[in-house]
Amino acid sequence: MGGILWIIIVGFVAGIIARLVSRGPNNPSGFILTTVLGIAGAFLATFIGQAIGHYGPDQGAGFITATIGAIVVLFIWNRLVARGVIRDSSAGR
């Protein structure tokens, strides 16, 4: 349980930093969506880290790897918005 809580906290911070680092017209708008994508990046980094043996089964991603994972998730988000798979909620503003 502590590992999941750590992933959520680190993902929250990583999502905010990833959004600041990767500026672009297709970035998600809103605090909650940015946080969710950051947490998804932390889970992605944890999954990949555990798959390659970098982290143990009960360890979560570190801050730097979670931020890199969040940037990867934001890149995928930008590609999906550019292709029209996901509707950009800020396009009508």
pLDDT band at 56 (very low <50, low <70, confident <90, very high): confident
The pLDDT, as a whole number, for residue 93 is 47
DSSP string, 60-88: ---HHHHHHHHHHHHHHHHHHHHHTSS--
Domain boundaries, the chain: 2-83
Token readout for 91 is: 């396009």
pTM of structure: 0.73
Token readout for 21 is: 């680092």
